[in-house]
Structure 1
């Protein structure tokens, strides 16, 4: 158990050390009026307290990813813990902080506009389409996952739960953000904390062997390669592009820039702890990768969650834990569709104060989402995983460009951006959803593209540095 507590301690220490460094490099301006103050509209731009901002952000970003992903990643063994800790501190939290703070600086704009501002109009248009596709995949994944869990609990048909969850999503998408999301999410936070810490304590007190296969070797029973698959499998909980679509929601509700580190960087660290808990449960409850793989084969991650929760906490406690797991994806799925609506609204320059334009955009989105939900869950999840990490990679490059243009230390974003470029391109070249090439060839392609991207990025240093003084002056003004 000492290793688990060490990992938690490292995540918390990362917030108070590296998080402070990232904040200083960004250069917050506490007296600068925020979009929540300047552009208040009573629907999406509504100032909230920092505590509520943190809880809503945490629940927005912590969907099924930091549960299902780490459970699947636990098949690789304790090496998954390394990726969760290092990924959260040096990649995921940096990504979340900049996606939120850059949105804050650009009037609460959505991720395509932020990326377009830094990487150009081609990336802007690409990101509009790519972000909407990802958000639809997220929304569908976060309907099917909780629907299956609710079906197991209630005995009611899964399609019925799918319809009910879609109905809730629709209301949360069109109503002002403080009517549902701002009111009930803080209450859900208490259930989330019970689920996470209750299961960890029960695992310890009931004497389960913690990390029975303590090695950094690849333990996957099917001998799937750790590189690049694990870095795609464990997305949320280490690094997730989905978060970049959610951070602007809170950027539109933030009253002061000094709240950025606890809300954006801090929520990612919180999600990292949730991912760490579920990776630990997956490795320890089943006493090894082979037994975990057999449990997954019998019913997928949803069955594993149900079995772990009810066994460790009993019928009532297990029910509360499962409800916490159900809440996580539902509180991310609703904001996924909301973010998609806002991205399209920004593109169409369609004001969202009135109910009619919100309905005009939301109805087609939900129709497409329902059509996608008819596909196979495992295939949808794999596409979601790749699209998720690819979006994160692009946002990291945009963050690096923003820093570079202002002659600030861009390495805090450039290093994870280069690494994730290698991961995502290698995965696409290797996996069957992509080109199905051999692992050595796919890795060679991925690394080559990553190096080429880095060289292309450096090629812009002279132009960026020459404009840094003007950009600094614009920001101060």
Structure 2
């Protein structure tokens, strides 16, 4: 298939889905009422609760949920099962499950004073569901901070060209926030100035790469400490000062990058040389359930509900803006996932011809990882537009989002810790102490590399969080007497799929040729929790049938 045809079909499909399915959810489920004050207005504290311009909030939300996730999963899925399998799940999952999950979890949080989904779970399901959800969430957030800090530090160490834009965006964003929010600078003018500054920073980074004078692990240690310190401090600053403007500016970089990638695909229109389907099984396991665990971001990810109910719901100025931010941002992530599939299946070679081995998908994936594979493929597709700068721009585009996810996740962890443990330990309600509660264990796991021990289970636990979020939304809909079919059936599918993945992974870790008993025991624990989740789903299903 021609890559230009594929990406065109995907964009048309997402536009149609936004109007059709997103509009259906807005009309039949949410029925937004802008006469009701959102938590951003009714609880405005100038720090965490603060109404944002809808496009600024879209930028924050998209930047926070995207990160490198829509790249890592789709690239791995192409390698395991072929490009067709990955695309079918991305196109269907994004519209009917992922965007539904994101939009409705955001709006349920808005309808519950901006509380996180775990806290809402206590009100609509019960204390057990809330405690179960909160434990999942805290573990997930600590792991995300550890891994993103680790990945970001290694990227700064190995790619010194991204140092200047990575840290230079911070003062640019703070100045942008001050001028727009405090001095009433028109948003379009501020956006143009900020983007010019950021592209200048990218150029300066390309011309003046910065390396630190430490050898071995010293370089990683320097960047890791700096990044974690940044995340800690940024997580306690008022959202208007850094979070909103930085994510908004970063969002434009990715939108521009997507636009260049789309135009580059139309211009070069390379044929997809990877196979459509490689078989029902691979080294990653059987296509069901493993494909649906490998591709999380880009189809559905439980982490998104934590962002939507953690920070975004506290900044939504009007209920009518929820569809754009929640449903729309997830569809845009689907576009990014589609571009990721194209860059490695058409921009690179499945079997490289003689003399082109440097563009072999599997060679790059094996030696440098999926982000480098994306960058190399992106560079080839956009070569007529960006020349040799394409690969670096593609990597820098993703690197910007790692920073946004880092401090947003620490802030989310602070919220959940304050809700779950704060009543018994009031000190955790302090912004700085609450952020330290997340940062310290994340620092240990990331710096020592011990996150690797349990990270392989992250995919399944993340999808279990998504199932829980869908169950919470379903329970809310039962309470307000709205139809539950849009959320209950996706929740059941995700529970069954995740349960099957945990059984497969657990069996391999305990009885496979290379047993890993820590992961095997972790799988067993998650299986027990999945059974509990299934029990909650059964109760909600019975309640929905009584409507």
Q: Is the 8 A contact 2:418 2:429 kept in 1?
A: no
Return the alpha-carbon distance in structure 1 between the equivalents of residues 147 and 250 of structure 2: 20
Return the alpha-carbon distance in structure 2 between the equivalents of residues 118 and 383 of structure 1: 28
The within-5 A match list for 1:56-455 is 56-75=60-79, 76-77=81-82, 78-154=84-160, 157-206=219-268, 208-209=270-271, 211-213=272-274, 215-218=276-279, 222=283, 224-248=285-309, 249-288=311-350, 291-311=360-380, 312=383, 313-349=386-422, 357-373=430-446, 374-375=448-449, 381-432=455-506, 455=538
Return the alpha-carbon distance in structure 1 between the equivalents of residues 504 and 282 of structure 2: 19
Return the alpha-carbon distance in structure 2 between the equivalents of residues 193 and 46 of structure 1: 25
Give, in angstroms, the shift of residue 152 of structure 1: 2.3
Q: Is the 8 A contact 2:417 2:428 kept in 1?
A: no
Q: Is the 8 A contact 1:149 1:302 kept in 2?
A: no
Q: Secondary structure at the match of 1:460?
A: helix
The aligned residue for residue 17 of structure 1 is 20
Return the alpha-carbon distance in structure 2 between the equivalents of residues 437 and 413 of structure 1: 36
Post-superposition Cα deviations, 1:116-170, rounded to whole Å, max 9, x if no partner, equal: 2222110111111111111111112222223333222125533332222212211
Q: Is the 8 A contact 1:47 1:253 kept in 2?
A: yes
The aligned residue for residue 469 of structure 1 is none
Give, in angstroms, the shift of residue 329 of structure 1: 2.0
Q: Is the 8 A contact 1:70 1:278 kept in 2?
A: yes
Q: Is the 8 A contact 2:57 2:248 kept in 1?
A: no
Residues 364-373 or 137-146, more deviating: 137-146
Structure 1 residues 410 and 139 mapped into 2: Cα distance closer, same or farther (>3 Å)?
A: same
Q: Secondary structure at the match of 1:133?
A: helix
Return the alpha-carbon distance in structure 1 between the equivalents of residues 105 and 331 of structure 2: 15
Q: Does 1:33 align with 2:116?
A: no
Return the alpha-carbon distance in structure 2 between the equivalents of residues 119 and 336 of structure 1: 25
Residues 390-399 or 426-435, more deviating: 426-435
Structure 1 residues 84 and 115 mapped into 2: Cα distance closer, same or farther (>3 Å)?
A: same
Unmatched tracts of structure 2, length 5 or more: 161-210, 213-218, 353-359, 513-522
Structure 1 residues 116 and 280 mapped into 2: Cα distance closer, same or farther (>3 Å)?
A: farther
Q: Is the 8 A contact 2:124 2:475 kept in 1?
A: yes
Give, in angstroms, the shift of residue 66 of structure 1: 0.7
Q: Is the 8 A contact 2:305 2:466 kept in 1?
A: yes
Q: Does 1:4 align with 2:10?
A: no
Give, in angstroms, the shift of residue 52 of structure 1: 0.8
Q: Does 1:459 align with 2:520?
A: no
Return the alpha-carbon distance in structure 2 between the equivalents of residues 305 and 163 of structure 1: 27
Give, in angstroms, the shift of residue 405 of structure 1: 2.7
Return the alpha-carbon distance in structure 2 between the equivalents of residues 101 and 433 of structure 1: 39
Q: Is the 8 A contact 1:64 1:142 kept in 2?
A: no
Structure 1 residues 196 and 377 mapped into 2: Cα distance closer, same or farther (>3 Å)?
A: farther
Unmatched tracts of structure 1, length 5 or more: 466-477
Return the alpha-carbon distance in structure 1 between the equivalents of residues 34 and 288 of structure 2: 42
Structure 1 residues 461 and 308 mapped into 2: Cα distance closer, same or farther (>3 Å)?
A: closer
Give, in angstroms, the shift of residue 406 of structure 1: 2.8
Q: Is the 8 A contact 2:289 2:500 kept in 1?
A: yes
Return the alpha-carbon distance in structure 2 between the equivalents of residues 296 and 199 of structure 1: 20
Structure 1 residues 289 and 101 mapped into 2: Cα distance closer, same or farther (>3 Å)?
A: farther
Structure 1 residues 297 and 385 mapped into 2: Cα distance closer, same or farther (>3 Å)?
A: same
Residues 48-57 or 140-149, more deviating: 140-149
Return the alpha-carbon distance in structure 1 between the equivalents of residues 376 and 501 of structure 2: 31
Return the alpha-carbon distance in structure 2 between the equivalents of residues 321 and 237 of structure 1: 18
Return the alpha-carbon distance in structure 1 between the equivalents of residues 22 and 444 of structure 2: 41
Return the alpha-carbon distance in structure 2 between the equivalents of residues 281 and 376 of structure 1: 32
The aligned residue for residue 475 of structure 1 is none
Return the alpha-carbon distance in structure 2 between the equivalents of residues 28 and 151 of structure 1: 47
Structure 1 residues 302 and 458 mapped into 2: Cα distance closer, same or farther (>3 Å)?
A: closer
| Alignment RMSD (CA, Å) | 2.8
Q: Secondary structure at the match of 1:459?
A: helix
Post-superposition Cα deviations, 1:52-83, rounded to whole Å, max 9, x if no partner, equal: 11111111111111111111122221110111
Q: Is the 8 A contact 1:63 1:329 kept in 2?
A: yes
Return the alpha-carbon distance in structure 1 between the equivalents of residues 362 and 305 of structure 2: 32
Give, in angstroms, the shift of residue 8 of structure 1: 1.9
Aligned residues: 454
Give, in angstroms, the shift of residue 198 of structure 1: 2.2
Match of 1:50 among 50, 54, 76: 54
